[in-house]
Amino acid sequence: MVMNPRPLLGEHSFPHLFSCGTLMSRKPAPPKSPFLDQRLADDWLATCQQYQAFLEVPPRQRFHYLGKLFELLCPWIEKAIQGVTIRHFLLLPKEMVIARMFAKSCRRESLPKSHLIFQIWIESIILRDVANPCNELGATNGASGEPSAQLQQRFNRLPIEDRALLYLYMVERCSVEEVASYTGIPQGSAAENLVRIWARVQGGAPALQLPRGWRAPQARESNFVHEERDTDLE
């Protein structure tokens, strides 16, 4: 179903949402702590040392150490995945991505010296896989409670400005008023565009199954905003 073109709500429309590459927090971000930075650097160094010890184990015996290595790497991988989904407003089968990134990590000759470089490496792989229509990442059902493959594909193909609106509303579970506040666009426009974007995701097909707790934009919300706006104008 072809939708009528509407003004894009991209970085020029609400630059403060994209300027820091993440969602606006409802609370002021805590100041950076040199102590925390050092703690992360120390923890990453310990992880790298454990990884090097893993590589020194004879290949046939490494299987016995995978569980411990997974416990060490999984928090770093999860943090990287969370950063990707928030910066780029993507729906991903989290458990599958963790398993895939862990497998790729285990094939490295060494881990990067910085955990930030490790996160960038994971982000580059995820973005490459999502952009590749032949890659199974965009055609795989998530675990229980995760978005279906069909929802992932349709959602991730949207322009980033459209993904941002739906992500705020559906994944972060913001109200229309909050979406408008975070993006800096009028509440009526936010409601209208949410309905328009979701209709594009639906594409005239049967209703997509949503993970528990998610809600799809409803036309009545847009009408309600219009009624409030018209009353105020009177």
Which residue shows structure tokens 């630059």?
15
Buried (b) or exposed (e) across 76-112, using 16+ Cβ within 10 A?
A: bbeebbebbbebbbbbbbbebbbebbeeebeeeeebe
In the prediction, which pLDDT does 227 show?
44
Of 170, 169, 199, 198, which Cα lies nearest the Cα of 181? 169
User: For residues 200 and 172, what is the distance between their CA atoms, to the nearest angstrom?
Assistant: 20
Q: Which band of pLDDT confidence, cut at 50, 70 and 90, is reported for residue 125?
A: very high
In the prediction, which pLDDT does 222 show?
54
In the prediction, which pLDDT does 79 show?
95
Q: What is the pLDDT of residues 62-89, one digit of tens each?
A: 888 899 999 999 999 999 999 999 999 9
Q: Which band of pLDDT confidence, cut at 50, 70 and 90, is reported for residue 211?
A: confident
Q: Which band of pLDDT confidence, cut at 50, 70 and 90, is reported for residue 12?
A: very low
Buried (b) or exposed (e) across 196-211, using 16+ Cβ within 10 A?
A: bbbebbeeeeeebeee
Q: Which band of pLDDT confidence, cut at 50, 70 and 90, is reported for residue 113?
A: very high
Q: Which band of pLDDT confidence, cut at 50, 70 and 90, is reported for residue 31?
A: low
Of 178, 199, 128, which Cα lies nearest the Cα of 17? 178
The answer to which of 29-38, 104-113, 161-170, 171-180 has the lowest mean pLDDT is: 29-38
| Percent of the chain whose predicted confidence (pLDDT) is above 90 | 52
Buried (b) or exposed (e) across 156-168, using 16+ Cβ within 10 A?
A: bebebbbbbbbbb
Domain residue spans in the chain? Answer: 39-142, 158-234
Q: Helix or strand or coil: residue 29? A: coil
Q: Which band of pLDDT confidence, cut at 50, 70 and 90, is reported for residue 172?
A: very high
User: For residues 123 and 104, what is the distance between their CA atoms, to the nearest angstrom?
Assistant: 13
The predicted model scores a pTM of 0.76
